[in-house]
Structure 1
Amino acid sequence: MARRAPGLPAQPSVTSLRAGGALPLGFDAAARFTYDGSFDGLLSVLLTCWQLRRWPEAIAPEGAAQGGLFSETHSVPTDEAQARRVWEGLLRHMPGEARTNLYKTFLSERPDRELLIFRYVQLAIQAAGQDISENFADDTVRTVAEINKQLFREKHRMEAFVRFERTQDGLFHASIEPDFDVLPLIAEHFTKRYADQRWLIFDRRRRYGLYYDLQRTDVVSFDRAVEAVAAGGSAVSAAVLDEREPLFQVLWQAYFDHVNIPERKNVKLHRRHMPKRYWRYLTEKQPRERQFRPIANKNNTAAG
């Protein structure tokens, strides 16, 4: 089940109706909706809400939805063509950046993300062409803005903290476990930065990854056997690593130790910029096989 984004306070229900329990204008009844959990599926739900004139009391992935005693439930199939129509149509009611922020809100995996997105779109439609993205007096707009700040920080950290290991067949592999589903957001960065090598970035928590084959970057999933290994042990078995990989790791650790200035050590600041939950995947944070020794002073060496 999706988790509430860490650090965000619980927000009031975004499905609250008008005073006295009245439905918003343009809607005839309330209903519950289920979908396949994809973003295209959610866009299909939004279109269905407007077509049926049903205000969503709840929107949830299939299998996670809870039935209501008095409201009807609609299972909405994903229609990619209709989803594309909705996605393109959103630009008539909001700027491109605001539309992108809705997709990032979906990637936050908050349990109320679907209702937040619906409510935000509904507010934009009611605004009749006015940009609502800075109307922070509204709870929904403010919550979406806060979510996007957190997604931006997590994306930036993943771009900085990914550490690759080279396998025997020349593939560079990295494992991550971000708080949010940020793989779609970092794909462009790594495709441009590492365009001359094959690489795979695997999200352990969500069991899928990004694979670049020197031509394009694709989303890939794995069978259950691979998932079991990824969930329980090291990122890559030592048997499949390039024989030079341990040397590469030692060299990187040595570089990290040499550029460090012990006299300016600030643990609190360091953990703020590099939270400890990421350390398990950082080469420089692993135990040293050889203790670091500063280079001997040249003058002392000459004197000796």
Structure 2
Amino acid sequence: MSRSLQPIRSRKGVPTTKAPASVAPRRAVVQLTNPPLDYAYDGSFEGLLTVLFNVYDRKAAPNSIQPLGAVQGGLFAQPVQIDTHEATAARVWEGLLRHMDQEARTRLFHTFLSEQPDRELLIFRYADLAMRAGRDISDNYADDNVRRIAGIAQQMYREKHRMEAFVRFEKTSDGLFHATIDPDFDVLPLIAPHFTKRYSDQRWLIFDRRRRYGLYYDLTRTDVVQFETTTPQRTTDISATVLDEREPLFKLLWQSYFDHVNIPERKNMKLHRRHIPLRYWRYLSEKQPREQRFEPIKNKRPVQPGGPALGSGSSAPQEEKG
């Protein structure tokens, strides 16, 4: 399926993230009076928006909305395959602003990226409820669909924040900084702006090994790159033969820094795991086995017999008078 960093782009390539200056008034929502249908689409967000348009065009509510690769047909009926139409998808995406604000609309895109099994029907039910309510429904937590959308949005925010914090790059011999991740959700479109802005002076690649695609920044723009190989990748490491020769030293220096700023007496593993869950440790250099044994820095003055205790005054011994 096709992937993009923005849910919808205009024809000139500029993301349509803001509401138009004058939003058209609400129209009467089409009544879905025909028998329900099963719909199939290409798995892209633009494809799903095209399905939503066809639902109201055919006046037939969806029994199911399934990606083409996971279609399960019935005994007597096959799903209706809907071809993606970008202009139609853009029309639907902009039209949603008549019934919800921009933040609520963004939550629908985040729900799609969450890869929940019933995400398509959930998005349809939320959009349909918003169009028929005639008011803002984002705070109507008595409704199960609104409550689930809000919960998924919170999960996506946490995953996005952790990926931005825990990604660790390795430098290759040709100057490319590479990182492999395996997030629970498809968060690459959400973290792209952060890394593009923060690491704008170096080429980098972030690869999602579960979804077999990545983000590549070439000092000019960030693009989606696909990997066609079907060979499973069992490790997050890349071959040592393509790494910069100084990379092992960088890793050792980072581990040494982490060990020396750590305070063993204040160790609290329960709190530590709450802020850095175990499943993220595979990305962190400081959590990898040590190649050299840790030795604390010996920079404290020992207490001499009969001498002053540490911290009781000047560290320099007093000269005897006379």
Q: Same fold (TM over 0.5)?
A: yes
Superposed counterparts of 1:51-66, under 5 Å? 51-66=57-72
Tell me, yes or no, if structure 1 residue 152 matches structure 2 residue 140.
no
Distance 2:222 2:51 in 1: 29
| Structure 1 position 67, deviation (Å) | 1.7
Aligned twin of 1:200: 205
- Match among 102, 106, 110 for residue 108 of structure 2: 102
| Structure 1 position 124, deviation (Å) | 0.6
Aligned twin of 1:222: 227
Distance 2:53 2:206 in 1: 34
Aligned twin of 2:291: 289
Name the aligned partner's letter for residue 266 of structure 1: N
Name the aligned partner's letter for residue 60 of structure 1: Q
Aligned twin of 2:184: 179
**Alignment check: 8 A CA contact 1:31 1:72 kept:** no
Provide the secondary structure at the position in 1 that maps to 2:162. helix
RMSD over aligned Cα, in angstroms? Answer: 1.8
Aligned twin of 1:118: 124
Provide the secondary structure at the position in 2 that maps to 1:31. strand
Distance 1:138 1:233 in 2: 42
| Structure 1 position 157, deviation (Å) | 0.5
| Structure 1 position 70, deviation (Å) | 5.5
**Alignment check: 8 A CA contact 1:30 1:71 kept:** no
Between Structure 1 and Structure 2, the one with more helix by share is 1
Distance 2:215 2:203 in 1: 11
| Structure 1 position 63, deviation (Å) | 2.6
**Structure possessing the higher radius of gyration over alpha carbons:** 2
Structure 2 unpaired stretches of 5+: 1-29, 304-314, 317-322
**Alignment check: 8 A CA contact 1:171 1:199 kept:** yes
| Structure 1 position 300, deviation (Å) | 3.5
* TM-score normalized by the length of structure 2: 0.82
Aligned twin of 1:14: none
Aligned length: 276
**Alignment check: 8 A CA contact 2:181 2:208 kept:** yes
Distance 2:129 2:94 in 1: 17
Show CA shifts across 1:140-174 (max 9, x none).
Answer: 00000000110011001000000000000100000
Provide the secondary structure at the position in 2 that maps to 1:63. helix
Tell me, yes or no, if structure 1 residue 132 matches structure 2 residue 147.
no
Distance 2:244 2:286 in 1: 19
Superposed counterparts of 1:37-76, under 5 Å? 37-69=43-75, 73-76=79-82
| Structure 1 position 298, deviation (Å) | 3.8
Structure 1 unpaired stretches of 5+: 1-23
Provide the secondary structure at the position in 1 that maps to 2:65. strand
Query: Which range moved further: 176-185 or 285-294?
Result: 285-294
- Match among 257, 264, 267 for residue 265 of structure 1: 267
- Match among 86, 93, 112 for residue 92 of structure 2: 86
Instruction: Indicate the percent of aligned positions where both proteins have the same amino acid.
Output: 66
